[in-house]
Structure formats: structure tokens, C-alpha cells
């Protein structure tokens, strides 16, 4: 059976400015800001939450299906999906649009100026969950607003359990819409900031939100994660990475572990551990899809960390 991953496919264009923004932005002239930065270093990464989650789930031996929208410039990404043997049956090409992409400029102090163009992502509502077959679990990851609302309703109508993962898209939704998502979903996953924002917006404590779900997961970076389930809370420690290189995509790697554990009927401790392990692999590699441990390597490292065989 497949996991249907509804979310974005995107290009991340990352540029490095070999100076500091503060040397070129004059506070007293901010009302007429007109600056240009020479960025001799640039790289393009394959990203987007759906692509990142599917990539990591494939590493674990799972069977992901991506449901996403891309534009006329998607050729290199589609070719990559083919090389990775990730089906693109439900990747819709929207003519006359660009694939979603971020333009990120970083200075020597790690300050960032980012512009994000949603492009074809804005048409994600054209994809319907009912078009996919053999699906036993889903996830609604950051995507176009209408698409996220539609896919949550589609999963619920089809009786397919799913994870609600709003990510940076959470501010798009009202309190009533967030509560509706939680009532439709079986699971939800927030990072610590998103969890606080959800609580502030709904006026409810995290424990109250968790009561609407089978499980609510809150990730806290180096402090590990918490899985709220049946009135209790399981703490999952973080796993020390071999290097701290780039956090981009760590949350998506973690979510792939959640999907894998749920699909294989693992308990929440084991599920949280494999999720944390995937996050530790990702943070040691630059870019969201450049780490490539084999399934055997993942199993051996899990055994070294927890003295338990998982396959």
C-alpha cells in the first residue's frame, strides 16, 4: 500500500552574499530601499515538502506517491523523480506557470532575505485524492491554501487516515479552519513555534488540541520531540548528528519517519525514534535531498542507537 503525500515540489535557489547586509542597508534610508547584492555563489536544490518527504520515505523502503503541481520549468525535477524511482502519476503540470521556488540570499552573519513564488502550487486544489489508488495513509503538507483544505476533506471522505502538517502555511488558516483540520485528521505534526501559534490562534492548550486526534507530534529541534497520545506524552530524544550542516528539510525527514512507523503499525516510541534518526541524517547534509544512507545503514544505525533491530 502507498502513502499519498500531498504538498509542494519546489526549487530552492540559494545564494551567498560574501559580506553583511548591515553594511549595505542604511536604517535611515529604509523608506527608499534600493539595494543590489553581488552573489558569486549560488546553488539550486530540489525541495518542496512533498518531494522531501517522499525522498526520505523511499530511503526507508516505503512506497510514496507524490500529489503536487509543477510548472513549465519542472523538467529537471521530473527527471530526478524518475531517477529516484518516485512515481509522478499524480504530479500535475500546470501550463503557463513556474514551479514553486524560493530565492534565498544569506550573508556572512547567516541573515537571510527570502522571496517565495508559489507558482503552480496555487493550483494544487486541481488534484483530487480520489484519483490515487492503493492508498492506506496520507499527509497534507504545506501547499496551496485551497489545495490543503480540499485534500483534508478528500482524505476524510475516503476514510483514509492522514497527518495534518501545516508547516509555514499555518498562518493562512483561521482558528475555525485549524480546528476543522484537526477534526478531519487522525494525526498532526507541528514544530514548537507552530504549536504555540496554533494554541494562540485557537485559544486552546496543546493537550486540548491533542484530544481531537489519535496523536499530535511536536518537534523541538535539538530538544527532541513530544508525541501526545491518549492523554499522555512520550518524549523522543534527538539523535546526535555526525555534523550540523544544514537544517533545511529536517522536519520533512522526520515526517517521513512518522509515515513509515504508522504504516507499519509501530508503537509511538519506535515511530518517534526512526523519525528522529531520519532528521539526524538530513541535518548532516547540505540541501534537503542529498543525504543517501542505504536502508541497511539506517537499520544498523538504529540498532547502535537503541539496541533494537527494526529489519
Among candidate residues 45, 50, 46, 80, the one with its CA nearest the CA of residue 67:
50
Asked whether the CA dihedral 16, 19, 22, 24 is positive or negative, the reply is negative
- Parse the chain into domains and list their residue ranges: 2-22+38-306
Residue 287, pLDDT score: 92
Among candidate residues 255, 246, 189, the one with its CA nearest the CA of residue 53:
255
Residue 228, pLDDT score: 98
Residue 247, pLDDT score: 86
B/e letters for 57-93, b = 16+ CB within 10 Å, e = fewer, are: bbbbebbbbbbbbbbeebeebbebbeeeebebebbee
Name the CATH topology of 2-22+38-306. 3.40.1190
Q: Which residues of the chain have pLDDT under 50?
A: none
Residue 188, pLDDT score: 98
CA dist 160 → 49, 135, 166, 168, 260 (Å): 20, 7, 18, 24, 15
pLDDT tens digits, one per residue of 28-52: 778 888 889 999 999 999 999 999 9
Residue 284, pLDDT score: 95
Amino acid at each position: 500500500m502507498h502513502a499519498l503525500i500531498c504538498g509542494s515540489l519546489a526549487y530552492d535557489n540559494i545564494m551567498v552574499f560574501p559580506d553583511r547586509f548591515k553594511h549595505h542597508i542604511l536604517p535611515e534610508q529604509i523608506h527608499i530601499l534600493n539595494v543590489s547584492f553581488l552573489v558569486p555563489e549560488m546553488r539550486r536544490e530540489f525541495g518542496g515538502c512533498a518531494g522531501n518527504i517522499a525522498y526520505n520515505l523511499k530511503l526507508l523502503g516505503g512506497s510514496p506517491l507524490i500529489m503536487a503541481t509543477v510548472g513549465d520549468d519542472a523538467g529537471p525535477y521530473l527527471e530526478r523523480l524518475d531517477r529516484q524511482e518516485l512515481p509522478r502519476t499524480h504530479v500535475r503540470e500546470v501550463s503557463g506557470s513556474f514551479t514553486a521556488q524560493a530565492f534565498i540570499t544569506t550573508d556572512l552573519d547567516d541573515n537571510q532575505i527570502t522571496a517565495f513564488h508559489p507558482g503552480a502550487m496555487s493550483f494544487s486544489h486541481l488534484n483530487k485524492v480520489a484519483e490515487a489508488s492503493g492508498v492506506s495513509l496520507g499527509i497534507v503538507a504545506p501547499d496551496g491554501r485551497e489545495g490543503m483544505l480540499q485534500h483534508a476533506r478528500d482524505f476524510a471522505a475516503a476514510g483514509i487516515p492522514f497527518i495534518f502538517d501545516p508547516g509555514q502555511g499555518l498562518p493562512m488558516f483561521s482558528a475555525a479552519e485549524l480546528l476543522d483540520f484537526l477534526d478531519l485528521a487522525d494525526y498532526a505534526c507541528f514544530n514548537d513555534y507552530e504549536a504555540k501559534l496554533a494554541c494562540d490562534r485557537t485559544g486552546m492548550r496543546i493537550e486540548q488540541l491533542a484530544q481531537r486526534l489519535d496523536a499530535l507530534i511536536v518537534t523541538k529541534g535539538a530538544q527532541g520531540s513530544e508525541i501526545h497520545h491518549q492523554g499522555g506524552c512520550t518524549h523522543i530524544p534527538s539523535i546526535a548528528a555526525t555534523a550540523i550542516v544544514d537544517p533545511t528539510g529536517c522536519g520533512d525527514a522526520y515526517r517521513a519517519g512518522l509515515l513509515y512507523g504508522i504504516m507499519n503499525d509501530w508503537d509511538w516510541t519506535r515511530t518517534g525514534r526512526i523519525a528522529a534518526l531520519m532528521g539526524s541524517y538530513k541535518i548532516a547534509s547540505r540541501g534537503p535531498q542529498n543525504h543517501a544512507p542505504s536502508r541497511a545503514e539506517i537499520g544498523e544505525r538504529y540498532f547502535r542507537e537503541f539496541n533494537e533491530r527494526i529489519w
